[in-house]
Structure 1
Amino acid sequence: MNDTTDWFTIERIAPETHQITEGQGVLPCNTFVVDGGDEALLIDTGLGIGDLRSVVEDLVGGDVRVLLTHSHWDHLGAATQFDDVVINGRERGPDGTVSLDVLEDDYDQRPREFMADWLELGKPLPDGFDPDNYSIEPIPDVGAVDPGDTLTVGNRELELVPVPGHTPGLLAVLDRETGVCHGSDVLEPGIEIFAHFEDSNLSAYRESIDRLVSLRDEGAFDTLTIGHGDPIRDDDLSVLDHVSEALTAVANDEASYEVIETSWGPTRSATVGDVTVLTPAE
């Protein structure tokens, strides 16, 4: 297996916009390329197993800039392959470094857990890749952006929308020209809300979803991409209304829940309609 087209799958999801996926079958991770002509923006960098830079450079003709939507490990993986990387300043260290322990101390075990699951299933890896040495390296000299900024990327204007809750500095990327909002981990496949991390905030999450609802209703986007599943389009975007209702019910203690065991420890799982909300167990 080569470390480019064999490891990654590539799909055009909008004009001059591609979704690149890896890790299917264990933890599908999406990155997104917005081509602005003489420049392109790569949104997130996945697992860091394949040669993502070569894949992106084969898709676009200009210089590649990188925006990390947040600092969780499965969005940082290949960031060290690139030279121009930025993130919300809330999710980098004081020296400009982004690493797995920026928000929580126990994230260094997540890559090992992924690789153990991958190998247990007997799934292939790129030729020459050593699973025993798999880790996510710290990314030095990461620039800071602020929520509300507009990134000019070649001929594209991309708005950075604050969507905290999953993490304190989570950013969505709104491309009004194509009607695409890149939402990262604001939603998980199966309509799950991951608000059970040490740094998650349920109140901020509800405000973030309501912000996306307002943008959808004003016609800013008709496609929402997510970090680990297929894009959500058109009428299916009503899911945002269901998520808002579920978060309100959980915040007001109006939703029944059970405590389940996860790799983060005991976690509350509340189901409201077709939405599952995970929060810390007290």
Structure 2
Amino acid sequence: MTVGGFAITQLYDDFFVLQEPGVRCFLLIDTRRALLIDTGFGRGDIAAAVRAVTPLPVTVVHTHADPDHIGGTAAFQRVLLHRGDLPRFQSRVSTRSLTVTFLSDGDTLTAGKYRFQVLHLPGHTPGSIALLERQKRFLISGDTLQTEPVYLFGPGREPGRYLFSLQRLYHLAGSFDTVLPAHGSCPVSAGVLGDLIGCTQRYLSRELPPHQLPAGSPIGDKCRLYRWGSAALLGEVGGPPR
């Protein structure tokens, strides 16, 4: 069904995908409270979409604070995010009516039968996180791990730290089989990680040729596309800083 501009599908027991054109959010149902992972662009009515699934009060968890992930946050009251993205968050969302709690690497979040380890994975943004469910072997990855090109241009993007975060995930890859990203295909295999590491390494060493985005792209003058294997990055026009 579609409510408030979001296509709602059930992925697992008590686990729903709220798909807005261009980005997806995840909703997990507990006995007393629901956990909403990201809130989309804010173009639609995500609160109505949530109410179509559950009447429970909602806690929002932000994987990071880019505009397409925090646009609907004002409809809720309780927010969890990493402190590293607080300036980014406050630049677009008023915290006056919100209760904001900071997440740290290694924290645990529980929603019904799901138990997540918070992984701080800076690079795409300073406060990017992913949520690892070890028992059920899946990772909610935000924008850190996906089949769509990963943004690594502009303020706050740090390709070197991003590579370090990918390498950390590589060492944890035995803990998950499935990745649930915010963009592109979903779910995807954890195998996407290898090509993203290779692509980022080659971008940093300036081995990859830059490709201009199609004419008319709203970000075409700000970045270039860099590809390797099945992975792609949107990096600086002149390549990574030396």
Same-fold call, TM cutoff 0.5 = yes
Question: C-alpha distance in 2, partners of 1:87/1:200?
Answer: 18
Q: Aligned residue pairs: how many?
A: 233
Offset at residue 274 of structure 1 (A):
2.8
- Give yes or no for the alignment of 1:199 onto 2:152: no
Offset at residue 184 of structure 1 (A):
0.9
Amino acid at match of 2:199: A
The answer on whether the counterparts of 1:38 and 1:61 sit within 8 Å (CA) in structure 2 is no
| RMSD (CA atoms) | 2.5
Residues 34 and 177 of structure 1: CA distance in aligned 2, closer, same or farther (over 3 Å): farther
Question: C-alpha distance in 1, partners of 2:76/2:40?
Answer: 13
Offset at residue 214 of structure 1 (A):
2.4
Q: Which residue of 1 aligns with 2:237?
A: 281
Q: Which residue of 2 aligns with 1:146?
A: 104
Identity fraction in percent: 25
Question: C-alpha distance in 1, partners of 2:177/2:95?
Answer: 33
User: Which residue among 234, 237, 242 is the counterpart of 2:190?
Assistant: 237
Gaps of 5+ in 2: none
- Give yes or no for the alignment of 1:38 onto 2:28: no
- CA offset digits 1:212-239 (Å, max 9, x no partner): 22222x2x22221111223134xx3312
- CA offset digits 1:89-134 (Å, max 9, x no partner): 11114xxx933x3xxxxxxxxxxxxxxxxxxxxxxxxxxxxxxxxx
- Give yes or no for the alignment of 1:160 onto 2:118: yes
Q: Which residue of 2 aligns with 1:19?
A: 17
Offset at residue 55 of structure 1 (A):
2.2
Question: C-alpha distance in 2, partners of 1:31/1:91?
Answer: 18
Offset at residue 255 of structure 1 (A):
2.2
User: Which residue among 86, 89, 101 is the counterpart of 1:92?
Assistant: 86
Q: Which residue of 1 aligns with 2:180?
A: 225
The answer on whether the counterparts of 2:160 and 2:204 sit within 8 Å (CA) in structure 1 is yes
List aligned pairs for 1:246-265, cutoff 5 A: 246-258=199-211, 263-264=218-219, 265=221
Amino acid at match of 1:167: T
- CA offset digits 1:33-91 (Å, max 9, x no partner): 12232222100001223332232233235432111111111111111111111211111
Residues 258 and 48 of structure 1: CA distance in aligned 2, closer, same or farther (over 3 Å): closer
User: Which residue among 149, 166, 185 is the counterpart of 2:143?
Assistant: 185
SS at match of 1:246: helix
Higher Rg of the two aligned structures:
1
Structure 1 residue ranges, 4+ long, deviating more than 6 angstroms after superposition? none
SS at match of 1:173: strand
Which range moves more in the overlay, 76-85 or 148-157? 148-157
- Give yes or no for the alignment of 1:66 onto 2:60: yes
- CA offset digits 1:154-191 (Å, max 9, x no partner): 5542211112111111011112233221111114544x
Residues 239 and 156 of structure 1: CA distance in aligned 2, closer, same or farther (over 3 Å): closer
Amino acid at match of 1:210: Q
Question: C-alpha distance in 2, partners of 1:57/1:175?
Answer: 25
Residues 9 and 67 of structure 1: CA distance in aligned 2, closer, same or farther (over 3 Å): same
- Give yes or no for the alignment of 1:10 onto 2:5: no
Question: C-alpha distance in 2, partners of 1:252/1:208?
Answer: 17
- Give yes or no for the alignment of 1:76 onto 2:70: yes
Q: Which residue of 2 aligns with 1:117?
A: none
Amino acid at match of 2:15: T
Question: C-alpha distance in 1, partners of 2:4/2:48?
Answer: 13
> What TM-score do you get using the length of structure 1 for normalisation?
0.74
SS at match of 2:89: coil
Residues 144 and 13 of structure 1: CA distance in aligned 2, closer, same or farther (over 3 Å): same
